[in-house]
Amino acid sequence: MALMENCVFCFRGFKDDKLTELIKFVQEKKGGLAKAPTSKVTHLVVPDVANLPKLTKAAQKKKIIDEEGLKNMSTTPKTMSTASFDAASATAAKPDPTSTSDNSATS
């Protein structure tokens, strides 16, 4: 089974030439395509997860990845999470990398 066989992708924010390239890539990997983020769409692909285009509520519920995440996904499923974005948790505060994981109170 191809890695993208059970995935349906919807693209947002790409220029025509890049969009055509990515569509061909997904088709070669046996992935599905959708014009809109319907309930069957599993992944929304955007040019840059840090600068998301305006998304509908339906689109925000999808796994959001960028081009790199899409291409990594075709080689190994575990690398997909490194370039993915969860829109639902976008407003959550990022953990402070300088803090320790020790939650014990100090006296």
Percent of the chain surpassing pLDDT 70: 67
Structural tokens at position 69:
């995440």
**pLDDT value at 93 more than 80:** no
pTM: 0.67
CA distance 34 to 13: 14
Residue 78 to residues 55, 72, 73, Cα–Cα distance (Å): 26, 9, 7
Could you read off the pLDDT of 13-41 as tens digits, one per residue? 999 999 999 999 999 999 999 999 899 99
Could you read off the pLDDT of 27-84 as tens digits, one per residue? 999 999 999 989 999 999 999 988 887 778 888 889 999 999 999 887 755 434 334 4
